[in-house]
Amino acid sequence: MKTVNVVAAIICDDYKKKTKIFATQRGYGEFKDGWEFPGGKIEEGETPQQALVREIREELGAEIEVHDLIDVIDYDYEKFHLHMNCYWATVEEGKLQLLEHEAAKWLEYSDLNSVDWLPADLALLPKLAEGMVDNNVEYYNETGV
C-alpha cells in the first residue's frame, strides 16, 4: 500500500489560550465535502513545517506560524496509507480565504463533533480537546458554580 506523507495545520485563535480551531471542508476529489484540517503533501526537500507554511499560503492565502507538533496520525484508507504530522499554528499575516475549500468554520471545544470529519482528522480530536480551553468549564471554574 502506498504511503502518502502530509502535514496538517490546526490553526487556533490564540496559541496560549486555544478556544477555537479552524476546520475546512474539501471542495474536490474523492473526499469532497468531508471536513479536515488544512494542509497537504510534503514535497521533496521540504521539512514538514516548510510544507505546512507553503500549503496554507496556497490553500488559504495567509502566512502562518507553525508551533509544536500535536501528534502523528497514521491511518489506512482503502487505497493508501496516510502519515500525517499535525501541528498547532496561528495566523501570522493576512486573512484566511477559501481558495480551494468549499467551506470553513471556527470551532470551539464544544463544537468539535459538529462537522463530518474525515477519518484521519477525526482520530486527532481527543488530542485537540486536551489542548483547548473549554469556555463553559472555564466559566464555571472562575465563578465557583
Task: Give the C-alpha distances (Å, rounded to integers) separating 17 from 34, 63, 131.
Answer: 27, 20, 9
What the chain holds in terms of domains, given with CATH numbers, is 3-143 (3.90.79.10)
pLDDT per position as a tens digit, 2-12: 999 999 999 99
20 close to 12: Cβ distance less than 8 angstroms = yes
Per-residue model confidence (pLDDT) at position 133 = 83
Strands 35-36 and 20-26 come out as antiparallel
Q: Model pTM?
A: 0.90
CA dist 46 and 141 (Å) reads 44
How does pLDDT run across 30-45, given as a tens digit for each residue?
A: 899 999 999 999 999 9
